[in-house]
Structure 1
Amino acid sequence: MGNRVARDDYEWVYTDQPHADRRKEILAKYPEIKSLMSPDPRLKWIVCMMVAVQFLAFYLVKDLDWKWVLFWTYAFGSCVNHSMTLAIHEISHNSAFGNTRALWNRWFAIFANLPIGLPYSASFKRYHLDHHRYLGGDGIDVDIPTEFEGWFFCTRFRKFIWIILQPLFYAVRPLVINPKPISRLEIINLVIQFSFNVGLYYLWGAKPLVYMMAGSLLGMGLHPISGHFIAEHYMFLKGHETYSYYGSLNLLTFNVGYHNEHHDFPSIPGRRLPLVKKIAAEYYDDLPQYTSWVKVLYDFIMDDSLSPYSRVKRKLKGEVKQE
């Protein structure tokens, strides 16, 4: 467990990300894909159902023994809360109400944020759009690990700890890499979430609060679904910076596994991404892909050539526009 990773820097490239050019080429050949670029009418109802399910779970765990609270936190709550974060990812692309009602999407994301416990939906929107526009951009894309992460988490055991602590690093990276002034919506998100958390504690006690908060932290740490954090952009094969996963966990994650397709067409809701792959199959079938997120986590930890440094990074040219 003490073997050190040989890599001591990111994979620096001097080319643009591949997604914009592939998008243009696919649209020229298959213009019917444009018809998929519209809101998903089912998304808002699915999100409301998930919020209602977690509210019911808060009520049901309030009288359980602590051992059962912790069991259901990992077995059920962590899955639902991680799925909810990916619903917020969908909403950040205006997939709930469309681009003409952008503010409706922002407010709906704050509502979807409630059972997660950690106020992040407003901030996620601002930084996630940068991730799409400037994939791997030095000093802009906060999905890229910091220098400290790459330097310190360089053994199998440390990589294991790093995966457990993923929620912490995702929270801290924006403040280190690309801090932005706090927006009005972020303050509103914080106040609403804090008020909800206090109200939940006052109404039903500490157990629902632990179920909610621990479920979010565990679900985004060492958990099968969290394999998508590693699978999406960590460079398992030289020259490839985005990877898709076509396994069954897409059913719980709004098809976030269709990640090449998502970066090629971020305005297409996750429910329709399999159609993109079906229509333009020759563009995706031969790209590197995964069948198991659990295996991705295992391989990342055990392969001594992989570390948080295993990311493609690029210096950006020209003016950078940020949210």
Structure 2
Amino acid sequence: MGQSVSRDDFEWSYNAQPHASRRIEILTIHEIGHNLAFGHARPLHNRIIGMIANLPICLPISIGFKIYHRDHHTYQGVDKLDPDLPTKVEASLFCTTFGKVVWMFLQPAFYIIRPLIVNPKPPTTLEVINTVVQLIFDALILYHFGVKCLVYLFGGAFLAMGLHPMAGHFISEHYMFQKGFETYSYYGPFNYLMFNVGYHNEHHDFPYIPFSRLPQVRKMAPEFYDNLPSHSSYMRVLYDFVMDPAIGPYARIKRKLVGLDKTD
């Protein structure tokens, strides 16, 4: 259980992220947020429904997630700009078999706290509103149903993002299971329950396409997707991540910022 991983650094790439070239080909080269519930013409409607969907999670993450997730799409693999990249401290501390299990259990905390430390942004008005609405909801749950109900809701959210088969998508999407490939789709049955989140290459190439249409994207462009490595089992993903010494928090491709966004 104490076996150490064989990697001691991230995989560095000196090329632009692979999705960039495909975005150029399909003229979808910038990411401003998905806004797929009510469309891009009604951004406030999307923010409001996001806050409502946020309520059972007990932590105000809806607005902040949109902001930082946009960075993940724009700066995939760029150190300190992609909030999805584990920090050097995480990768160093959780580099054993047991350590990777602990890291997966604590993943919800890292997912929330990491962006605030690596690339903090000033809070927006909508983030403040999201926080106030969430605190009011939590207070009402506590008052009417007691602390056990609040802990149940929070614990369920924490488990769903950590040691849970469906949380395998956090690992399957960008951890390097095959050298040189940094994004992987999952084509298993959980897609029916998880809004086709497994179609991750397709999602990065077409971030504005609704989840219900992502399978059609793959069918329309088999020359882009059928030859890419993919996953068919989240359980297998989690098992391999924990047990394979070659895979761990270090198994991510990093790149330096290049292009018009680069600042000296």
TM tier, shorter chain? over 0.9
Query: Which whole-Å CA distance do the structure 2 matches of 1:319 and 1:180 have between them?
Result: 21
- Structure 2, unaligned runs of 5 or more: none
Distance between the aligned counterparts of 2:35 and 2:114, measured in 1?
A: 24
Which residue matches 1:100?
Answer: 41
The secondary structure found in structure 2 opposite 1:131 is: helix
Q: Select the residue among 77, 94, 97 that pairs with 1:153.
A: 94
Counterpart-to-counterpart distance in 1, 2:162 and 2:79: 25
Q: Which moved more, 1:140-149 or 1:102-111?
A: 102-111
Between the aligned partners of 2:159 and 2:55, the Cα distance in structure 1 is 17
Which of these residues, 158, 179, 184, is aligned with residue 125 of structure 2?
184
Residue 309 of structure 1 aligns to a residue whose secondary structure is: coil
1:109 pairs with 29, 32, 50, which one?
50
Match of 1:19 in 2: 19
TM, length-normalised to structure 2: 0.94
Q: Which residue type is aligned with residue 135 of structure 1? A: Q
* TM-score normalised per structure 1: 0.77
Asked which structure has the greater CA Rg, the reply is 1
Over the aligned positions, Cα root-mean-square deviation in angstroms equals 1.5
Query: Residue by residue, what CA displacement relative to the aligned partner does 1:167-222 show, whole Å, maximum 9, x if unpaired?
Result: 01111111221111111111111110011010011112223212211100011110
Alpha-carbon displacement from aligned partner over 1:2-27 (angstroms, at most 9, x marks no partner): 121121111111100111212343x4
Greater helix content: 1
The AA in structure 1 aligned to 2:8 is D
**What per-residue deviation string (whole Å, max 9, x for no partner) do you get for residues 97-131 of structure 1?**
11111111111101110111111001000000010
Matched, 1:217 2:135: no
Please identify runs of 4+ aligned residues in structure 1 that moved more than 3 A: 318-321
Match of 1:165 among 76, 83, 106: 106
**SS of 2:42 mapped into structure 1:** helix
* Among candidates 240, 248, 258, match of residue 299 of structure 1: 240
Aligned position for 2:179? 238
Residue 250 of structure 1, CA deviation: 0.8
1:202 matched residue in structure 2: 143
Name the counterpart of 2:66. 125
CA–CA distance in structure 1, aligned partners of residues 66 and 78 of structure 2 = 17
The answer (yes or no) to whether the contact 2:172–2:186 under 8 Å persists in 1 is: yes
In 1, distance between residues paired with 2:97 and 2:11? Answer: 20
User: Which residue of the partner structure matches residue 202 of structure 2?
Assistant: 261
CA distance in 1, matches of 2:203, 2:63: 21
Alpha-carbon distance between aligned partners in 2 of 1:228 and 1:186, rounded to the nearest angstrom: 26
Aligned mates of 1:156, 1:224 — CA distance in 2: 18
Q: Map of 1:23-102 to 2, 5 A cutoff?
A: 23-25=23-25, 27=26, 93-102=34-43
Per-residue deviation, 1:320 = 3.3
Give the gaps of 5 or more residues in structure 1. 29-33, 35-91
**Matches of 2:24 and 2:128 in 1, distance apart?**
38
Q: Are residue 174 (structure 1) and residue 115 (structure 2) matched?
A: yes
Q: Is 1:3 matched up with 2:40?
A: no
Deviations 1:40-89 (A, max 9, x none): xxxxxxxxxxxxxxxxxxxxxxxxxxxxxxxxxxxxxxxxxxxxxxxxxx
Distance 1:138 1:206 in 2: 40
Cα offset, 1:319, TM superposition: 4.5
Any conservation in 1 of the 2:16–2:258 contact (CA below 8 Å)? no
3-state DSSP of counterpart to 2:141: helix
Q: What is the distance in 1 between the residues matched to 2:253 and 2:41?
A: 34
AA in 1 matched with 2:22: R
Q: Give, in whole Å, the separation in 2 of the partners of 1:281 and 1:318.
A: 29
